[in-house]
Amino acid sequence: MSAPTRARLARRRARILRERLIETVLFLAALVSVFTTVAIVYILVKESVVFFQSVSIVRFLTDTQWTPLFDDAHFGIMVLLSGTLTSAAVALAIAIPLGTVIAIYLSEFAAFKLREIAKPFLELLGGVPTIVYGYFALLFVTPLLQRIYPELPGFNLLSAGIVMGIMIIPYVSSISEDAMRAVPMSLREGSYAMGATRFQTAIKVVVPAAFSGIASAYILGISRAVGETMILAVAAGMQPNLTFNPLEPAATITAFIVQVALGDLPHGSTGYQTIFAAGLTLLLFTLACNIAGHVLRKRFREAY
Amino acid sequence: MKKDIQRRKRWDAIFALCGMVALMIGVLTFTALFVDMALDGVGRLSWEFFTNFPSRRPGQAGILSAWVGSTLVMLTTAFFAVPLGVAAGIYLEEYAAKNWITDLIEINITNLAGVPSIVYGLLALGLFVYQFGLGQSILAAGLTLALLILPVVIVATREAIRAIPQAIREGSYAVGATQWQTVRYHILPYSSAGILTGIIIGMARAIGETAPIITIGALTFIAFLPPAPLQADAPFLSFDWLMSPFTVMPIQMFNWTSRPEAAFHANAAAAGFVLVLMTLAMNGLAIWLRYRLRRNIKW
C-alpha cells in the first residue's frame, strides 16, 4: 500500500471514530430523560419505604387525621387528598367549560385575525408564574368573593381553585383547538352542505371527530390542577382539613410539601419522609392521568 | 320550517357570543391581575428596591439578593439544559433507530413533561441536596430547573429539526458530508431560531418556578450576595458562587405574600410586577420569533 493511501485510510478511520463518538455523546444526552424518571421513582420509593416501615399503608389510606408533626402523629393521606381533589374540582369546573368554549370559538367561529391575536395572548396567560396567581387569589379574588359572601375565611379552596382554573384554561383550550383544527375541512363542508349551522357543525361533527384530543386536553388539565402548588400554598392555607367544602381552608398534598420544606426538619426524620410518601401519592396520581390520556388518545383516535 | 331555521341561527349567534365572553373572561382576568399588581406595587418600585437587601422593615426591603440569585440560577440552568436538550433533540430526530430504546426515551420525555414541578423538587432534595451533597446551593437549584425544562427544550428542538426538508440532508450527503457534518453545518443553523424559541419559553418557565426551589430548602431571608464570579486577581474567574446559599425572585415574593402586614404585600406586588414583566418579555420574544420564522422561511 502506498503512503498516500495509508494516510487516506487513517483519516477515514479517524473520521468514522469521531462520528461514532459524537453519536454516543448525543445518545447519552437523550438517555438523561430516562435517568431522570428512574431517579424520581428511586428517590420517592426509597424514602417512602422507610416511611411505610413506621406507618402502615392501611393507616396511611384510612386514617382521618393528618398530624405528622405532632407528638400524637396521624398520617391519613385522605385529609390532604380531600383538599387536593376539592380545589382541583373547582379549577376544572372553571377551566373545562371555558377552555372548551374558547377552543370551539377560536377553531370554528372566530376570524383569522382574532385567532392570531387571541392565541399568543392565551399563551402569555399560561406563562405567568404561579406565585403571581397565588398573590392574585389571596389579595384580589378572596376579598372580591368576601364582598359577595362575607363569611368566607381569608384562606379558602374556592378562590385558589377559581384562579387555578383560569390558569389552566390556556392548556385546555390550546390542545383542544389543535385537535379540532386537525379535523379535515371536508367533514365540515359536508355538514354545511346539508344545511347545518356553524354551531351544529361544531357540536355534532367537529367535537366528536376531535374527541380524543379534547379528552387528553382535559386530562392534562386534571394533572395540572392536582400538581399545582404555589396558588394553593398561598391562598388555601396550610391547615390540614378533611373537607369537600370549597368555602373552607384546607391543605393539599403539594401545600403540605411546601410547608414541611419551609421549616427545618432534620434529614431522615419521619416528618422528612412524609413529604416523599405524599410526593409518591401525587406522582402515582398524575401517572394514572397520563396513562388514561394515552389510552383515550389511542382508543378514540379518528384517522383521516 | 322558517321558524326552525331562525331558531338555529339564533343558537349560532348565542354561542358566538358565549365564545367572545369566555375569551373576555381570560383577557379581563389577566388585565385585573396585571393592573391590581401594578397599582399595589408601583409605589415601591425605585432604584433602591433593586439595590437593597430584604429587610424586616418593609419600607427598606429590596430584591437585590433575589434578582442576583435568579440570574445566577438561570445561568446554571441554561448551562445544563441547553446542551443536553439540544443534543437529545438532535439524537432523536437525526440518529435514533426505530427500536425499543428510542420508544422508551420518547415515552419518558412525554411523561416527564406531565410530572408536577414539586416532584422535581423532591427528586432534587433527595438526590442533589443529600445524595450528591450539594446542599441548598445555586448549583442544586440550577440542576433541578434544568431537568424541569429539559422536555420543553427537547420538544422544541425536535419540532424545529423536523421542519427541515429531507432534500437539505440529501444534498449534504451527496457532496460527501458525514452525518455530523450535515448536522453541524446544515441542520443546526437552519433550526437555530426554532430551538432558541423553545429555550426562551423554557427559561421563562424556569424563572417563575417556586415550588421545586422551596422544596430543596432554599432560604427565604438572604441578606448577602454570592461570591462574585469575576475576581480581581488570577485566575480571575471563581465558581464559589455555585455552592452559595441563595434566594430567587418567586421565593422572595412568596415570603412577602405570606406575611400578614399589608406593607409587605406592597413589596410582594412590586416583586411580582417585575417578575411578570420579565416572563412576559421572554414569552413575547419567543412568540415574535416564531411569528417571524413562519413568515420568512419558505423551503
Give residue-wise pLDDT tens across range A71-109: 777 888 888 889 999 999 999 999 999 999 999 999 998
pLDDT at residue A19, rounded to an integer: 92
- Cα B286–Cα B289–Cα B292 angle in degrees, nearest 5: 150
Where is B12: in which H helix or E strand? Answer: helix B2-41
What is the signed CA dihedral for B247, B253, B257, B261, rounded to 10 degrees?
Answer: 80
From B90's Cα to the closest Cα of chain A, the distance in A is 7
pLDDT at residue B260, rounded to an integer: 82
pLDDT at residue B157, rounded to an integer: 94
pLDDT in tens, A175-210: 899 899 889 999 999 999 998 999 999 999 999 999
CB spacing of B18 vs A105 below 8 angstroms? yes
pLDDT at residue B247, rounded to an integer: 86
| Residue among A34, A130, A223 minimizing CB distance to B108 | A34
> Of the candidates B217, B223, B114, which has an alpha carbon nearest to the alpha carbon of residue A223?
B114
CB spacing of B275 vs A230 below 8 angstroms? no
| Model confidence band, residue A32 (pLDDT cutoffs 50, 70, 90) | very high
- Residue A108 CB contacts under 8 Å (≥ 6 apart), including other chains: A180, A198, A201, A202, A206
CA dist., res. A223 & res. B111, Å (int): 11
Instruction: List the grid coordinates of B144.
Output: 433541578
| Residue among B9, B118, B127 minimizing CB distance to A254 | B118
pLDDT at residue A117, rounded to an integer: 86
Residues of chain B in contact with residue A125, where contact means CB-CB under 8 angstroms, are 26, 29-30
pLDDT at residue B91, rounded to an integer: 95
| Residue among A18, A26, A128 minimizing CB distance to B276 | A128
Residues of chain A in contact with residue B247, where contact means CB-CB under 8 angstroms, are none
Q: Is the pLDDT of residue A20 over 90?
A: yes
pLDDT at residue A213, rounded to an integer: 87
Q: Is the pLDDT of residue A264 over 90?
A: no
| Model confidence band, residue A173 (pLDDT cutoffs 50, 70, 90) | very high
pLDDT in tens, B177-225: 999 999 999 999 989 888 998 999 999 999 999 889 988 877 767 777 7
CB spacing of A26 vs B108 below 8 angstroms? no
CA dist., res. A209 & res. A217, Å (int): 14
| Residue among B12, B131, B205 minimizing CB distance to A199 | B12
Tell me the range of A60-69, A225-234, B80-89, B203-212 where mean pLDDT is highest.
B80-89
> Average per-residue pLDDT in chain A?
88
Residue pair B151/B84 in contact (Cβ under 8 Å)? The answer is no
Nearest CA in chain A to B119: A279
pLDDT in tens, B268-297: 999 999 999 989 899 889 888 888 877 766
CB spacing of B114 vs A133 below 8 angstroms? no
- Interface pTM (ipTM) of the complex? 0.88
How large is the average pLDDT for residues A131-142?
Answer: 91
pLDDT at residue B295, rounded to an integer: 73
SS3 A298: helix
pLDDT at residue B199, rounded to an integer: 93
Residue pair B267/B254 in contact (Cβ under 8 Å)? The answer is no
How large is the average pLDDT for residues B257-268?
Answer: 86
| Residue among A134, A200, A230 minimizing CB distance to B8 | A200
Q: Is the pLDDT of residue A43 over 80?
A: yes
State pTM to two decimals: 0.89
CA dist., res. B295 & res. A114, Å (int): 18
Nearest 5°: phi and psi at B237? -100, 135
Residue pair B279/B298 in contact (Cβ under 8 Å)? The answer is no
CB within 8 Å of chain B, chain A residues 119-178 = 120-125, 127-136, 138-140, 166, 169-170
How large is the average pLDDT for residues A228-234?
Answer: 89
CB within 8 Å of chain A, chain B residues 6-45 = 8-9, 11-12, 15-16, 18-20, 22-23, 25-27, 29-30, 32-33, 36-37, 40
CB pairs under 8 A between A and B: 263
Tell me the range of A46-50, A160-164, B31-35 where mean pLDDT is highest.
A160-164
Residues of chain B in contact with residue A51, where contact means CB-CB under 8 angstroms, are none
Residue pair B210/B73 in contact (Cβ under 8 Å)? The answer is no
| Model confidence band, residue B58 (pLDDT cutoffs 50, 70, 90) | confident
Residues of chain A in contact with residue B151, where contact means CB-CB under 8 angstroms, are 33
CB within 8 Å of chain A, chain B residues 165-224 = 178-180, 201, 204-205, 207-211, 214-217, 220
From A239's Cα to the closest Cα of chain B, the distance in A is 14
CB spacing of A132 vs B276 below 8 angstroms? yes
Residues of chain A in contact with residue B217, where contact means CB-CB under 8 angstroms, are 261, 264
CA dist., res. B148 & res. B90, Å (int): 19
Please give the CATH superfamily to which domain B48-296 belongs. Answer: MetI-like (1.10.3720.10)
Residues of chain A in contact with residue B123, where contact means CB-CB under 8 angstroms, are 36, 39-40, 43-44
CB spacing of B116 vs A227 below 8 angstroms? yes
pLDDT at residue A304, rounded to an integer: 63
Percent of chain A clearing pLDDT 90 (strictly above): 39
- Residue predicted with more confidence, B157 or A301: B157
Domain ranges within chain B, ordered by starting residue: 2-42, 48-296
Fold of the domain built from segment(s) A77-299: MetI-like fold (1.10.3720)
- Residue B76 CB contacts under 8 Å (≥ 6 apart), including other chains: B138, B139, B141, B142, B143, B146, B242
CA dist., res. B125 & res. B133, Å (int): 10
